[in-house]
Structure 1
Amino acid sequence: MNIKKSYIVLIIVAALFIGALGSYAGVKLAQSEQPSSNETTEDQASEEITEEQLNELTAGVSDTESISKVLQALNTIQDNYLEEVDESELIEGAVQGMLDTLEDPYSVYMDKETVEEFNHQIESSFEGIGAEVSMVEGKVTIIAPIKESPAEEAGLKPNDQILKVNDESVEGLELYDAVSKIRGEQGTEVVLEIQRPGVTDPITVELIRDDIPLETVYSEVKEVDGKKAGIIEITSFSEKTADRFKEELISLEDEGIEGLVIDVRGNPGGLLPVVEDILKVFITKDTPYVQIEDRNGEKSRYFSELEEPKDYPINVLIDEGSASASEILAVAMKEAGNSEVVGATSFGKGTVQQTIPMGDGSTIKLTLFKWLSPDGNWINEVGVEPTIEVKQPDYFYTNPIQLKESETLAFNQSNEKIANAQTMLKGLDYNPGREDGFYSQETVEAVKQYQADQDMDVTGEINELTAERLQTSIVEVIRSGEDDRQETRALEALFQ
């Protein structure tokens, strides 16, 4: 039997039956971890494998006829198809096809180049627009933009669906193929066509790719009713996040904080061991901080060694962009840490993936476990509900006003774009008179005042330039945090 054909079968068998392997000790399922034993390297694959050896390796396979069928299909295509076929592409297609049948957006195949990009992103930085994406109901969907990234600055939001990249449709593409189109060298431009929930027409967003550093922890101190409150924002859970979190927490405690808010809004998740290390700082040993359930329904509970909780109150901030590890933290603090969880219901990702090397540099990232809250709740596709629900001001949820070069919004018109502009104007403290989309005389005067303050031509009409300037002004106000009702409420709740 030809070595390549034998090796192909082994890869396919591994993909089909990897879920039957035993649980990993400690369930340390970091995305960057890989089993070190039983790997097949490219050098090892140069040796001849006999039929007998192959039979031994596949002895645990329950349906050898199915494997023979796969191999027969491969031989048939290679020997008879009209055009010459790349064998490696056939194999990758077979593995990808098996994963597609799972209908799990988090179980994916990554080729060697994608694995390198993936590991690089976890470890340090990457070049791109700075947004975490996933496949949701077959659509490439933004989970959250990364703090201070081109994606955030352009106003991309959780649940935005990416339809096109540089005028090329991404429909039907695998997630990592779509991501490879979005990423690119620092300084290059990429144009995305976005479908936003609640918005009729697609939105076109132009971004300049940048180097996205993974500084994941930010802290500050604010005074609330004469008391010092610390805020630690975590933007993702990468390799160094837990260490950075502990450093910032010690610094805040040295400053004498009397309460703490942990902000994981817009945090798409990351490495499980990292959020575990953070929870061990707060959750005492008498209550699990997370539970892991395997395919057989068997649960493992994980505890810290902490004797006493912190002597100050701790609240957590979440929103619809908080996913995965962020939700582990939020629900653990809610159920086991007696914390208030403030904001909006989170994304709802309750599964754990393990990266499993395929021996040639490629990897399968496969869902192996559910994670459950300390009380045993599964939040998948449901999310973590806040104990204190707080909606941000309406202008936080506005959309870019996209006009054609000759298009203007003017007096006596009425449409969705005008309503959006009126909400923006009100958020910027200009009174448009109404917010129902009718361009009234009050709206004309509000636009005139805005244009005058911006040193623009004062026309009272919204053209392409005025629309772009309004969007920039709104993003600046949001990023300033001056009207952050969720943070304000989380701070107030510390001392009530």
Structure 2
Amino acid sequence: MNRKWLAVYMTGSLLTGAGGAYIGMNVIYKEKLESTSSSSHKENEALSKAETAYDLIVNNYVEKVDKEKLEEGAIKGMLSTLDDPYSVYMDKETAKQFDQALDPSFEGIGAEVSTEDGKIVIVSPIKDSPAEKAGLKPNDEIVKVDGKSVEGQELYEVIKKIRGEKGSKVKLEIARSGLDNPLTISVVRDEVPQITVYSSIKKDGGENIGYLQITSFSEDTAGEFKKALKDLEKSGISGLILDVRGNPGGLLTSVNSILEEFVTNDKPYVQIADRNGKKEQFFSSLTKTKEYPVVVLVDKGSASASEILAGALKEGADYTLIGEKTFGKGTVQQAVPMDDGSKIKLTLAKWLTPDGNWIHKKGIEPNLEVEQSALYQTHPLQIDETLVQEMNSEQVKYAQEILTSLGYTTDRKDGYFSSQTKTAVKAFQMQQDLKATGRIDATTASKMQEAVRTAMKKEENDIQLQTALHYIVK
């Protein structure tokens, strides 16, 4: 085998749906792989055993066998013994989608999915994506796709089922912590533009506070970020908020470039440790930090590259993290191409924070833990039949939670459709220019969920953001 230079990645799998592109692939470093001309006697025996089994099945099994499927099955079998959800085999089709990682836009549902304890889970929906609009949230477990169970299936098999053309619909059955019964959420696939940096100036206590939201770390993110930061600094900001909530990851080259704006060379901003414990450290060239305070917003949807940034700013620059504990993804994978176009993505190393902490399956704790209000904890309504007074169901309970979070008064939240609940529904319908029937049909339910999304976008309802503003101004 010839020597090859292969890019090393770190991530779960970012499901972008129809196009099936995978972002969140953080290029850490390049490692030269070289095979030697000789191998041990024991290795030869193992290969001989595998070849014997292959020949036996191909030539003697009672029915003809697809050789390609047999080979793929053998590879999957070896990887399954590792008990590592991030070490996977990708067939030619999946590998092709994997390579389309950094398209400026893609079609799909716009959510990163990964595996956790054998479950297929949502890491984070992308900002303004169909997945976010439909009500998918971090840590949602995908139980069924279009009515069929995904139990025992590999991550990429589930991804293929969720992918589809723009305008088409996929129905996901979701298990969510705190709910007794699964949710069924329909998502209409659409184009998801990859705008990764959002910049604005917030005012609090008479001060101008810079705000930079990074939704993922793509090829152009660092350039966009530096330009936006420069413009904010020219305008005279007295502090800066970096928001990586719901950011599933991206290219480490982007993170590296951004960190060089904030972290000094006193500590490494990230460390890579191999199987033998040997560490490679990566440093910024910066000699002093910003003169203004910097705060970082994180939540359970902040994963992979976002955690590298959060860990580096917390431990390497003593900046304050506000929000919730992050996702917890601390391993490094390498995508190795096969001759037929397929790939094996294999875990090769761990990444560590500046102080040498491994955050895998643990996440990074914020300095100030702040949970969002009940508005951000509501669940999508599934109206199979109109909800009316005297009914008692989980859907009524969700509706009561939505109404309360929007400021309407209900006397209970236990799922019983009381007269006071009917009054609250009427008030909502009148506010929305709907016929005030006091009944929750599909139209009213849709308006309620739209009102929740609108309210969530109002800055005054974002407790984590408000905390960050007050922290800088104090």
The CA distance in 2 between the partners of 1:76 and 1:273, in whole Å, is 48
The CA distance in 2 between the partners of 1:104 and 1:279, in whole Å, is 30
The question of whether the paired residues in 2 share the 8 Å contact of 1:293 and 1:300 is answered with: yes
Deviation track 1:437-476 (CA, whole Å, cap 9, x = no partner) reads: 4433322211111112223232223334323321221122
The question of whether the paired residues in 2 share the 8 Å contact of 1:32 and 1:122 is answered with: no
Counterpart amino acid of 1:240?
D
Task: Tell me what 2:387 maps to.
Answer: 408
The question of whether the paired residues in 1 share the 8 Å contact of 2:8 and 2:333 is answered with: no
Whether 1:179 and 2:163 are equivalent positions in the alignment is: no
The CA distance in 2 between the partners of 1:61 and 1:262, in whole Å, is 55
Task: Tell me what 1:479 maps to.
Answer: 457
The question of whether the paired residues in 2 share the 8 Å contact of 1:35 and 1:356 is answered with: no
The CA distance in 1 between the partners of 2:41 and 2:207, in whole Å, is 64
The CA distance in 2 between the partners of 1:218 and 1:172, in whole Å, is 39
Whether 1:159 and 2:161 are equivalent positions in the alignment is: no
Counterpart amino acid of 2:222?
A
The question of whether the paired residues in 2 share the 8 Å contact of 1:31 and 1:354 is answered with: no
**CA pair 395-35 structure 1, distance change in 2 beyond 3 A:** closer
Moved more, 290-299 or 28-37: 28-37
1:27-38 superposed matches below 5 A: none
Task: Tell me what 1:451 maps to.
Answer: 429
1:287-298 superposed matches below 5 A: 287-298=267-278
Question: 1:109 Cα shift?
Answer: 1.3
> 3-state SS of the aligned residue for 1:284?
coil
Task: Tell me what 2:344 maps to.
Answer: 364
Task: Tell me what 1:18 maps to.
Answer: none
The CA distance in 1 between the partners of 2:322 and 2:251, in whole Å, is 23
Task: Tell me what 2:472 maps to.
Answer: 494
Which residue of 449, 463, 475 corresponds with 2:441? 463
> 3-state SS of the aligned residue for 1:316?
strand
The question of whether the paired residues in 2 share the 8 Å contact of 1:400 and 1:468 is answered with: no
**CA pair 27-118 structure 1, distance change in 2 beyond 3 A:** closer
Question: 1:107 Cα shift?
Answer: 1.3
The CA distance in 2 between the partners of 1:488 and 1:351, in whole Å, is 33
Which residue of 52, 57, 76 corresponds with 1:72? 52
1:253-272 superposed matches below 5 A: 253-272=233-252
Task: Tell me what 2:101 maps to.
Answer: 121
The CA distance in 1 between the partners of 2:116 and 2:43, in whole Å, is 32
Question: 1:27 Cα shift?
Answer: 7.6
The CA distance in 2 between the partners of 1:441 and 1:111, in whole Å, is 57
The question of whether the paired residues in 2 share the 8 Å contact of 1:170 and 1:178 is answered with: yes
The CA distance in 2 between the partners of 1:27 and 1:38, in whole Å, is 11
The CA distance in 2 between the partners of 1:185 and 1:58, in whole Å, is 48
**CA pair 33-377 structure 1, distance change in 2 beyond 3 A:** closer
Deviation track 1:426-447 (CA, whole Å, cap 9, x = no partner) reads: 2222111333444333222111
Which residue of 37, 49, 62 corresponds with 1:82? 62
Counterpart amino acid of 1:213?
P
**CA pair 173-166 structure 1, distance change in 2 beyond 3 A:** same
**CA pair 311-38 structure 1, distance change in 2 beyond 3 A:** closer
Counterpart amino acid of 2:207?
K
RMSD: 2.6
1:15-414 superposed matches below 5 A: 57=37, 59-60=39-40, 62-405=42-385, 407-411=386-390, 413-414=391-392
Deviation track 1:280-303 (CA, whole Å, cap 9, x = no partner) reads: 211001121111111111222221
Moved more, 176-185 or 116-125: 116-125
Moved more, 289-298 or 433-442: 433-442
> 3-state SS of the aligned residue for 1:233?
strand
The CA distance in 2 between the partners of 1:114 and 1:247, in whole Å, is 35
The CA distance in 2 between the partners of 1:170 and 1:34, in whole Å, is 34
Runs of 4+ displaced beyond 4 Å: 24-39
Moved more, 486-495 or 161-170: 161-170
The CA distance in 2 between the partners of 1:383 and 1:61, in whole Å, is 43
Deviation track 1:245-271 (CA, whole Å, cap 9, x = no partner) reads: 112111211221111111110111122
**CA pair 227-36 structure 1, distance change in 2 beyond 3 A:** closer
The question of whether the paired residues in 2 share the 8 Å contact of 1:195 and 1:202 is answered with: yes
The CA distance in 2 between the partners of 1:228 and 1:374, in whole Å, is 31
Moved more, 426-435 or 70-79: 426-435
Question: 1:62 Cα shift?
Answer: 4.1
Task: Tell me what 1:49 maps to.
Answer: none
> 3-state SS of the aligned residue for 1:157?
coil
Higher alpha-carbon Rg: 1
Task: Tell me what 2:401 maps to.
Answer: 423
Unaligned runs of at least 5 residues, structure 1: 1-9, 15-20, 40-53
**CA pair 345-67 structure 1, distance change in 2 beyond 3 A:** same
**CA pair 33-391 structure 1, distance change in 2 beyond 3 A:** closer
Question: 1:484 Cα shift?
Answer: 0.5
Question: 1:346 Cα shift?
Answer: 0.8
Unaligned runs of at least 5 residues, structure 2: 11-24
Identity rate of aligned residues, in percent? 49
Normalising by structure 2, report the TM-score: 0.91
Higher-helix-fraction structure: 1
Deviation track 1:111-145 (CA, whole Å, cap 9, x = no partner) reads: 22212212213343322100000011222111000
Question: 1:38 Cα shift?
Answer: 7.3
Question: 1:28 Cα shift?
Answer: 8.3
**CA pair 115-35 structure 1, distance change in 2 beyond 3 A:** farther
The CA distance in 1 between the partners of 2:356 and 2:180, in whole Å, is 40
The question of whether the paired residues in 2 share the 8 Å contact of 1:33 and 1:354 is answered with: no
Question: 1:65 Cα shift?
Answer: 1.5
> 3-state SS of the aligned residue for 2:254?
helix
Number of corresponding residues? 460
The CA distance in 1 between the partners of 2:319 and 2:265, in whole Å, is 17
The CA distance in 1 between the partners of 2:416 and 2:407, in whole Å, is 19
The question of whether the paired residues in 1 share the 8 Å contact of 2:389 and 2:419 is answered with: no
The question of whether the paired residues in 2 share the 8 Å contact of 1:125 and 1:211 is answered with: yes
The CA distance in 2 between the partners of 1:348 and 1:434, in whole Å, is 37
The question of whether the paired residues in 1 share the 8 Å contact of 2:7 and 2:27 is answered with: no
> 3-state SS of the aligned residue for 1:467?
helix
The question of whether the paired residues in 1 share the 8 Å contact of 2:240 and 2:294 is answered with: yes
Deviation track 1:292-319 (CA, whole Å, cap 9, x = no partner) reads: 1111112222211111111111110011
